[in-house]
């Protein structure tokens, strides 16, 4: 068995073998501490140590005082607080005191995963205090808050991950209130959130009555290197009318806003600086994209607006004020505001400001159809399949087909499909297809984005699914059909030296909070019957019931050893002891 790699796709809990301390699994049941404020959940959560798992069974957990937890896991032994499988715990406040205290505060904590719990009520649903890092909020429901749902505005934060969360009905206080879905960072750069992911969340019906706003996701000035991806956000217009996504910039690296769909917003997306806005579908709001100065952002700079579909806004599709801006790009966007203004711009002639291959319908101020920066987009009804029913797939004969500028083409489209030449204008790459093969826009979580073959990205704390940028573990052809989700798992190792792959694998669904086993096929490893070990390559075509994987991130993990100089060497990452390889896709 010398000179070989052993690939094991297995339960991720095996990651915790040989822990430094013996991890505990603690189960709690609903309790009422309204009169005593001595809540079992809060007390136990503050005792959690690396590797511990706190499981909450379904029902109401309530108390009347401050609920705050502080706990520190580690990279290899995170702390998990989750719902029991198939159950729905609700953390709340008494009805007569729903928004005096925050629902929960997380203070000076790290490496915590909170999954599958509903937070109902509280002034803020989940608020982070002081410095926090490496905290995951996955599959939560946060609603009926007096103010905002999630706030990181009382200290810096790094490497946060908020995924698959359902946020709705905020700003319910009777007085002056805000109601943001996610408030990320501080006013005036007083604190920063960095290197974080806010993805695949469903955020809607946010209320505000003050000048603070009811934005869907607001990334404050100075926060940087964050990703806002694949979120569905609508109706940020109850009381006040604020952006569905607002990214200030002003940090040392750009923020990325991609693959989101937003509607019924004030401004759909507002950005000042240091951002890439790509492959978003933006429609039926007051303004599509606002790009104008803001008192908190000193320099408008480094913005790319590429490959977006912008439609049907009552005022303007794009509002641009760039007289002092530098290094700005607007390219390959489908900009359709029939009966309104497509472009209202000034200051767009600077030497570092670039417009290319934008197709427009609607009035234009400060810009014109010049067949270079802007082209006549014709009629929206001819360009898209059915824009009035939220179907923005370009028709086969659409003027958008193959008209994108290759220099500004994005690598993937709104569906996560790879773009190929000739490039389409707007958020979709049709590849000649008459109808959208991916997720159809509707209220709810975005689905069927898929992780295309060859994607070498992964989550923080894991090794890449690739070796030297060559895929080792890939998940391909994700599709939703009827009551099933299908995808292919592929493990491919070099033909020399000989490699052994464990035939049993597992995938994890965030909707069920459990691992489900499958068996791969391939060439049996010499001396075996193939039921345990396979050679060099292995694969499995899975069909998963939507009850097991209807929405969320699906994980497949790989642990590999290479035998070198009489030593077993694991995959490398920031952890010197090695990390699991991880491939994901979203459905």
| DSSP reduced 3-state for 162 | strand
- What is the Cα–Cα distance from 168 to 170, expressed in whole angstroms? 6
Mean per-residue pLDDT, 281-288: 98
Structure tokens at 151: 């706030």
Q: Which residues are CB-neighbours of 82 under 8 A, at least 6 positions away?
A: 53, 54, 55, 56, 113, 114, 115, 116, 117, 513
Q: Which residue has the tokens 């960072």?
A: 185
For residue 406, how many other CB atoms are within 10 A of its CB?
11
Residue 64 has pLDDT above 80, yes or no: yes
Residue 277 has pLDDT above 90, yes or no: yes
Tens-place pLDDT, residues 396-432: 999 999 999 999 999 999 999 999 999 999 999 999 9
583 — pLDDT class (breaks 50, 70, 90): confident
Tell which wins on pLDDT, 463 or 130.
130
What rounded mean pLDDT belongs to the chain? Answer: 87
490 — pLDDT class (breaks 50, 70, 90): confident
pLDDT, position 469: 60
Residue 11 has pLDDT above 50, yes or no: no
Mean per-residue pLDDT, 263-277: 98
Tell which wins on pLDDT, 449 or 522.
522
Residue 560 has pLDDT above 80, yes or no: no
Sign, Cα dihedral of 542, 448, 479, 419: negative
Q: Which residues are CB-neighbours of 426 under 8 A, at least 6 positions away?
A: 307, 308, 309, 332, 333, 334, 359, 392, 394, 400
Burial 90-101 (b: 16+ CB within 10 A, else e): bbbbeeeebbeb
- What is the Cα–Cα distance from 330 to 326, expressed in whole angstroms? 13
pLDDT, position 19: 37
Mean per-residue pLDDT, 326-342: 98
pLDDT, position 7: 34
Per-residue HEC secondary structure of 197-238 comes to EEECCEEEEEEECCCCCCCCEEECCCCECCEEECCEEECCCE
Q: Are 337 and 268 in contact (CB under 8 A)?
A: no
Q: Are 519 and 23 in contact (CB under 8 A)?
A: no
Worst-scoring range by mean pLDDT, 13-17, 172-176, 371-375, 436-440?
A: 13-17
pLDDT, position 515: 72
Tens-place pLDDT, residues 495-525: 666 666 777 777 766 555 667 788 888 888 7
Is residue 41 classed exposed, middle or buried when 0-12, 13-18 and 19+ CB atoms within 10 A define those classes? Answer: buried
Tell which wins on pLDDT, 506 or 103.
103
pLDDT, position 422: 94
Query: ∠584-246-244 over CA atoms, to 5°?
Result: 75
Mean per-residue pLDDT, 89-114: 94
559 — pLDDT class (breaks 50, 70, 90): low
Residue 561 has pLDDT above 80, yes or no: no
Burial 173-197 (b: 16+ CB within 10 A, else e): beeebbbbbbbbbbeebebbbbbbb
Q: What percent of the chain has pLDDT over 70?
A: 82
| pTM more than 0.85 | no
Residue 465 has pLDDT above 60, yes or no: yes
Mean per-residue pLDDT, 148-176: 96
Residue 358 has pLDDT above 70, yes or no: yes
Tell which wins on pLDDT, 180 or 513.
180
| Strand 553-564 to 5-9 pairing | antiparallel
Can you give the C-alpha Rg of the chain in angstroms?
A: 25
150 — pLDDT class (breaks 50, 70, 90): very high
Domain residue spans in the chain? Answer: 5-9+451-586, 34-211, 243-446
Mean per-residue pLDDT, 153-174: 96
Cross-strand pairs, 514? 509
pLDDT, position 449: 40
pLDDT, position 573: 61
Whether the link from the prior residue into 422 is cis, omega within 30° of 0, is yes
| Per CATH, domain 34-211 is 2.160.20.10 | yes
Tell which wins on pLDDT, 564 or 199.
199
């Amino acid at each position: 068995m010398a000179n070989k790699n052993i690939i094991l796709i297995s339960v991720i809990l095996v990651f915790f073998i040989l822990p430094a301390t013996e991890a505990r699994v603690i189960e709690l049941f609903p309790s009422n501490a309204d009169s005593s404020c001595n809540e079992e959940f809060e007390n136990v959560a503050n005792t959690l140590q690396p590797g511990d798992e706190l499981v909450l069974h379904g029902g109401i957990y309530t108390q009347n005082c401050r609920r705050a937890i502080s706990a520190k896991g580690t990279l290899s032994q995170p702390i998990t607080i989750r719902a029991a499988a198939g159950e729905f715990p609700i953390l709340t406040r008494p009805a007569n005191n729903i928004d005096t205290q925050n629902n929960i505060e997380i203070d000076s904590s790290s490496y915590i995963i909170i999954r599958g719990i509903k937070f109902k009520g509280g002034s803020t649903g989940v608020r982070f205090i002081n410095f926090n890092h490496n905290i995951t909020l996955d599959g939560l429901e946060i609603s009926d808050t007096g103010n905002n749902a999630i706030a990181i505005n009382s200290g810096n934060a790094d490497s946060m991950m908020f995924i698959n969360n359902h946020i709705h009905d905020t700003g319910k206080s009777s007085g002056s209130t805000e109601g943001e879905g996610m408030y990320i960072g501080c006013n005036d750069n007083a604190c920063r959130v960095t290197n974080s992911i806010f993805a695949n969340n469903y955020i809607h019906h946010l209320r505000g009555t003050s000048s603070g706003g009811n934005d869907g996701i607001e990334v404050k000035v100075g926060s940087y290197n964050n990703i806002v991806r694949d979120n569905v956000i609508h109706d940020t217009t109850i009381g006040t009318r604020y952006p569905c996504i607002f990214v200030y910039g002003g940090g040392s690296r750009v923020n990325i806003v991609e693959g989101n769909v937003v509607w019924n917003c004030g401004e759909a997306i507002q950005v000042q600086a240091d951002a890439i806005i790509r492959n978003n579908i933006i429609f039926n709001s007051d303004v599509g994209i606002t790009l104008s100065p803001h008192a908190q952002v000193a320099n408008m700079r480094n913005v790319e607006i590429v490959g977006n579909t912008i439609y049907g806004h009552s005022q303007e599709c794009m509002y641009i004020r760039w007289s002092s801006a530098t290094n700005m790009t607007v390219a390959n966007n489908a900009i359709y505001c029939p009966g309104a203004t497509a472009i209202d711009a000034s200051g767009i002639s600077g030497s570092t400001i670039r417009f290319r291959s934008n197709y427009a319908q609607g009035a234009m101020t400060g810009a014109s159809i010049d067949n270079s920066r802007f082209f006549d987009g014709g009629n929206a009804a001819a360009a898209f399949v059915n824009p009035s029913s939220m179907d923005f797939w370009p028709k086969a004969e659409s003027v958008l087909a193959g008209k994108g500028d290759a220099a500004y083409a994005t690598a993937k489209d709104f569906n996560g499909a790879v773009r190929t030449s000739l490039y389409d204008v707007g958020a979709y790459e049709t590849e000649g297809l008459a109808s959208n093969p991916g997720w159809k826009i509707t209220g709810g979580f975005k689905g069927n984005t898929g992780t295309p073959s060859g994607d070498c990205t992964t989550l923080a704390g894991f090794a890449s699914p690739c070796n030297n940028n060559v895929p080792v573990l890939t998940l391909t052809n994700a599709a939703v059909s009827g009551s099933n989700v299908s995808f292919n798992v592929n493990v491919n190792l070099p033909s020399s030296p000989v490699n052994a792959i464990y035939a049993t694998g597992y995938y994890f669904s965030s909707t069920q909070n459990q691992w489900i086993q499958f068996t791969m096929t391939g060439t049996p490893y010499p001396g075996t019957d193939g039921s345990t070990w396979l050679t060099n390559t292995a694969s499995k075509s899975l069909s998963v019931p939507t009850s097991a994987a209807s929405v969320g991130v699906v994980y497949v993990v790989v642990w590999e050893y290479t035998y070198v100089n009489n030593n077993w060497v694991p995959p490398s990452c920031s952890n010197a002891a090695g990390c699991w390889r991880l491939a994901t896709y979203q459905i």
